Structure formats: C-alpha cells, structure tokens
Amino acid sequence: MAIERKQESDKGNDVIEMDMLPNEIVNMCLAELSARDLLHMEMINHRLRDLVLQNNNLWKDKVKLRWGMQANNSLLEASSVLAGGWKNLYAQKHVSEKRNKPWVVPSDPEIEAILELVRGDSSLDRVGSPISLSPTSSVMSEMAPARGLKRGLTVLLLLDGSSSVTREDFDAMKSFTRKLIDNLRERRPDSAVGLIQFNQSPRTIIPICDISEDIPERVDKMQQLMGSTDIAAPIKTAHELLTEDGNFGGDAVVLLLSDGQTSTSELEASQREARSAAELMGVRLFAFGVGRDVDEMGLNRIAASTHIECEQLLDGTIIPERPGGAYLTLRRMERSML
C-alpha cells in the first residue's frame, strides 16, 4: 500500500533537477540571467561555476548589451583580449562606471586598446573594425619618396585649451598624453611626438621630436590657454608640421582631444583640413571627446574625413583604401545628467 502511494506521488512530480540537464540547455538558461544572477550561479556548485566562467560568449553578450551602443564599442573585442576575457572586461567596465559616475571614462583595458590603435599594433581580427588598420609602410613610402622611411610612427596631439573645457577635463587630456608618451617610449621607440594646444589659434608646445625623458614634465607644466575654439587651425598646423618634418615617412597619427564645441562653418573647415592631411600625408585622425557637453557627432565627422576610398586614377594608378581614424570617448558627462 505504501509502495502504491509512492508511485502515485512520483507520477505527479514533474520537477527536473538542473543536474539532469545537458550543458547546452543550461547555457541557454544562463543566457537569460542578469550579470548579477550569473555571479550568484557561480557559487551554487562546481559545474555551474565552470559553465559561467568558461562561456565567453555569454559574457560577450552581457558586455555588448550594456555598453554596445557607446562610442568605444569598436574597441570591445580588443579590450576583451587585453582584459583576459569578456567576464574580466565586464567586471572592469562595471567598476570603472561606478567609480567615475556621472562621467563616462574608458576602463583600463580600453585605454590599452586605444594605445594599440594609435601605435597601429591592432589587427582587424582582434578589434573587428577597420579603424584598427594603419597604412602600410609601402603605401607611405610611395606617398613621400623623397623623405624615405625614417620614422616608423609620428604622433601629433592637439589639446583643446579653450574656456569650454574645464580644468578637470584639461587635466584628463594631460594625463592621457603622458600615458601615451610613456607607452610609445616603451613599445614604439622608433616614434616621434609633437604637441599643439589650441583655443581660437594653435600654439605649438612641443615640435615634432624623438621621445625624450623630459617631455612628460613639459606636459605637466603646460597651462590651459582659455578663450574660444577653432578646431580647423590646429589640424592645419599639424599638417604643416608633418610636411616640414624631414624625418617623416612612416605612419602619421593626429589625436584631437576636444569637446568639439565649435561653429558649423569651423566644423566643415576642420573636415576639409583633416581630409587634406589624409590624402596628402596618409594621416589617421582620432578624435577624443572630452568635456561636459561633447559634440560627438561633429567629432565623429572630423575623424571620418580621413577615411579614403579605393580609387583608380586616370593613368591607371590605384590608390588603396585607407581606413582613417575614428571618434572615441575619453571623458564625457552622461547624457542623462545634461
């Protein structure tokens, strides 16, 4: 009689324990959970912990869902590699977001990915975006045959010192500049740097030169100019400095750090100057948004101007495609706070 009651009880029990499910089904269930719930699942047993830790695509989806629409989304692939996996990248971005709120600031792996991008070390497979590619040395040699390939990389930084940039924003620009210079000294000793600060007119702080130990100190001592903003003028000055540099011949990168607050006519002039530098010198221009109210659309248009489509000239010469630069966020206020 007791056996019959047990059999009847078993018939009504439709509960399937998770341990009975194959990994494929469990992973489908995990994909529906939040990042917080996934961390809780890790602590249940060894099997679930291994599934949560080993499913890299699971954390990739969480990162893309939370941050995939931000300006730096093209760097997420490279950042995940530098962070040691998508789960680590999620954790570092989460911590960075909480620490810097209400400011949007790249996490450490994203900064490393940006530095890779500037150096031209990133690959298309890693970053997953054509902005990671730099012009080949053969293309650059053809563009400047008289100079020859004397330097592997020349980086010009254009820092917005106008009054629309706060002291904290300007300090963030200087901090990134120091970090970049230290990174280039270690990873690209064949490179050279130059620094221009601008308001309504550009001022060359450091002419193009090999990286020396005193450059970070010169950056630290730089005082903000204040005044209005003209973005086209420093881009033109950067182009002129590259043209006059007798050692130029490799990859040329211009980094524009600004809030992008300028007039429509000056924005269009900035695009023309950037396009000219790309066509004549092969310049890649990266625009970094820094400030409380960043004109991301305008800065993106300036950076996109350095993208050169593949073209065949009348004499049959083929000009290869050059991907140019991109817009990236360095420090900006969350839109909900504006």
pLDDT tens per residue, range 195-243: 999 999 999 999 999 998 889 999 999 999 999 999 999 999 999 999 9
1, HSE (Cβ side, Cα atoms, 13 Å)? 0
Q: What is the mean pLDDT of the chain?
A: 85
- What count of other Cβ atoms lies within 10 Å of the Cβ of residue 1? 5
pLDDT of 312 > 80? The answer is: no
- Highest mean pLDDT out of 101-105, 121-125, 333-337: 101-105
End-to-end Cα, the chain, rounded Å:
73
User: Confidence band (pLDDT; 50, 70, 90) for 6?
Assistant: very low
pLDDT value at 101 more than 90: yes
Among 4-8, 64-68, 95-99, 267-271, name the one with the lowest average pLDDT: 4-8
pTM score, two decimals? 0.83
Q: Report DSSP letters for 18-68, one per residue.
A: GGGS-HHHHHHHHTTS-HHHHHHHHTT-HHHHHHHHH-HHHHHHHHHHHHT
Written as six digits, the tokens of 172 are 């963030």
What pLDDT sits at residue 237?
97
Residue with the bigger pLDDT between 196 and 137: it is 196
pLDDT at 140 over 80: no
CB within 8 Å of 133: residues ≥ 6 apart: 120, 122, 124, 323
Task: Tell me if 90 sits within 8 A of 59, measured CB to CB.
Answer: yes
pLDDT at position 144 over 60? no
Element (H, E) at 301: helix 296-304
pLDDT at 252: 92
pLDDT in the model for residue 338: 53
Q: What is the pLDDT of residue 65?
A: 93
208/69: higher pLDDT: 208
Output the pLDDT for position 188: 92
The better pLDDT of the pair 124, 113 is held by: 113
Question: What is the pLDDT, as a whole number, of residue 323?
Answer: 75
Considering only 170-184, 271-285, 310-324, which range has the smallest mean pLDDT?
310-324
Q: Residues 161, 163, 166, 167: is their CA dihedral positive or negative?
A: positive
| pLDDT score at 105 | 95
Q: Sheet with 251-258: list strands edge to edge.
A: 103-104, 327-333, 284-291, 251-258, 153-160, 191-198, 202-210
Among residues 302, 185, 301, which one has the least CA distance to residue 238? 302
- The average pLDDT across 255-268 equals 94
**pLDDT for the residue 316:** 72
pLDDT band at 280 (very low <50, low <70, confident <90, very high): confident
Distance CA 328, CA 258 (A): 11
pLDDT in tens, 18-65: 778 888 888 888 899 998 999 888 898 888 899 888 888 999 999 999
DSSP helix/strand/coil, 273: helix
